[in-house]
């Protein structure tokens, strides 16, 4: 077990979770997910712990996502380790969202995929001038998971659809706009803020919010607010094909760039992502959305695109995936339906009911 990859000291009245794989951008392994869950459960019962803070070791970011090299090897071998990892990871995401004590996420640097799952469901979410937040799953043949379709489906207008299909990276202001974060704090002030949280008086989220507010400021201007002039209209279309057509036809250079980016992503994952986002809008709870995401992730294990996408982006790094099918027109409704309805082995919640 990678116990050293999650540090769990208690500083005064705060439980400190530090992801400690800096050379791997703190990518999550199954053992790390288990260690985080165990620490949270222990601190929930510990009256000395007033709040929890999660951050990443090193200078590059909180967490770049799950360990997709391990997923790649498992998918190639036809194993079941990835499904087990996702089951425990999604349970953790739900646990964080309903955690009874303030859960403070320091979303500094790279925060992508699984990194969003362990931060953006928290009650106090802090971004910095270095934050780079994204759900880039369509680029490796996956649908946004870890509650990503829940979060993005609830972003203003069609901003979430844009981020989900393109996998675009956003900074602090845009993360705040999309509801992925709550406060902007300059990175250089984090040490002082962390100390103040540990020494802070009072209990509960309001007391923690008051401490954070003393260190918070205004984020540098983002770009998504201005881009809504083309995003909301183009991404409101019913199909990915029509979205691409609208983007190309709009005339704004950024809209054309978005269309070109979308066409580099897995066609199957794109169509499954749009269907998942639209379905997530109608679901009332994070847990219900996670159930659908679990089905989608397990369905992806049976596609060629997942292995090919990881190969191109992470293993060989040639950035030239050979998707199957290559075109959006080749993706059938039946294939998309597999991502939404395919039964998976075992229930997501099991004896850890989260509803």
Q: How far, in Å, CA of 235 to CA of 314, rounded?
A: 29
Q: How many CB atoms lie within 10 A of CB 84?
A: 14
Q: How many CB atoms lie within 10 A of CB 29?
A: 18
Contact 304, 149 (CB under 8 A): no
Q: How many CB atoms lie within 10 A of CB 213?
A: 10
Summarize the confidence of residues 92-108 as an average pLDDT.
98
Q: Hey, which residues does 55 pair with through a beta bridge?
A: 18
- Which residue is catalytic, options 15, 66, 147, 309? 66
Q: How far, in Å, CA of 244 to CA of 259, rounded?
A: 5
Calculate the average pLDDT of the chain: 93
Q: How far, in Å, CA of 118 to CA of 76, rounded?
A: 27
* Percent of the chain whose pLDDT exceeds 90: 88
- Which residue is catalytic, options 145, 158, 174, 287? 145
Does the annotation count 333 as an active-site position?
Answer: no
Q: Strand order in 61-63's β-sheet?
A: 61-63, 110-112, 132-134
The pLDDT tens digits for 136-186 are: 999 999 999 999 999 999 999 999 999 999 999 999 999 999 999 999 999
Q: How far, in Å, CA of 311 to CA of 71, rounded?
A: 11
The pLDDT tens digits for 228-237 are: 999 999 999 9
What confidence tier does 345 reach under pLDDT thresholds 50, 70, 90? low
Does the annotation count 330 as an active-site position?
Answer: no
Q: What angle do CA 296, 65, 323 make, to 5 degrees?
A: 50
DSSP of 191-208: HHHHHHHHH--S-SHHHH
Angle between helix 240-250 and 267-281 (nearest 10): 100
pLDDT at 355 over 70: no
Q: How far, in Å, CA of 3 to CA of 222, rounded?
A: 38
DSSP of 73-108: HHHHHT-SHHHHHHHHHHHHHHHHHT-SS-EEEEE-
Does the annotation count 145 as an active-site position?
Answer: yes
- Which residue is catalytic, options 89, 108, 137, 158? 137
- Which residue is catalytic, options 15, 56, 61, 114? 114
Does the annotation count 66 as an active-site position?
Answer: yes
Global pTM?
A: 0.95
pLDDT at 113 over 60: yes
Q: What is the pLDDT of residue 341?
A: 75
Summarize the confidence of residues 315-344 as an average pLDDT.
90
């Amino acid at each position: 077990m990678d116990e050293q990859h999650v540090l769990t000291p208690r500083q005064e009245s705060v439980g400190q979770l530090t992801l400690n794989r800096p050379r791997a951008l703190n990518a999550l392994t199954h053992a790390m997910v288990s260690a985080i869950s165990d620490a949270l459960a222990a601190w929930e019962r510990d009256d000395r712990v007033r709040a929890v803070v999660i951050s990443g070791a090193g200078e590059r970011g909180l967490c770049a996502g799950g360990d997709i090299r391990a997923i790649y090897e498992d998918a190639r071998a036809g194993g079941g380790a990835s499904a087990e990892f996702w089951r425990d990871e999604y349970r953790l995401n739900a646990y964080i969202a309903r955690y009874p004590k303030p859960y403070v996420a320091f979303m500094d640097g790279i925060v992508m995929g699984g990194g969003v799952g362990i931060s953006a469901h928290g009650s106090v979410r802090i971004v910095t001038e270095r934050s780079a937040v994204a759900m880039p799953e369509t680029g490796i043949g996956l649908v946004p998971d870890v509650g990503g379709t829940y979060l993005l489906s609830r972003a203003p207008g069609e901003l979430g659809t844009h981020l989900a299909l393109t996998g675009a990276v956003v900074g602090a202001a845009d993360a705040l706009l999309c509801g992925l974060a709550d406060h902007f704090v300059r990175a250089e002030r984090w040490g002082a803020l962390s100390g103040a949280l540990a020494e802070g008086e009072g209990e509960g989220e309001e007391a923690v919010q008051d401490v954070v507010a003393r260190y918070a400021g205004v984020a540098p201007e983002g770009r998504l607010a201005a881009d809504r002039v083309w995003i909301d209209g183009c991404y409101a279309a019913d199909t990915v094909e029509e979205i691409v057509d609208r983007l190309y036809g709009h005339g704004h250079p950024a809209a054309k760039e978005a269309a070109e980016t979308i066409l580099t992503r897995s066609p199957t994952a794109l169509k499954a992502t749009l269907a998942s986002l639209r379905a997530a809008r109608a679901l009332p709870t994070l847990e219900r959305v996670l159930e659908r995401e679990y089905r989608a992730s397990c369905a992806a294990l049976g596609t060629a695109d997942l292995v090919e996408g990881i190969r191109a982006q992470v293993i060989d790094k040639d950035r030239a995936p050979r998707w199957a099918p290559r075109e959006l027109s080749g993706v059938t409704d039946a294939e998309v339906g597999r991502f939404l309805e395919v039964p998976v082995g075992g229930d997501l919640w099991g004896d850890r009911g989260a509803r």
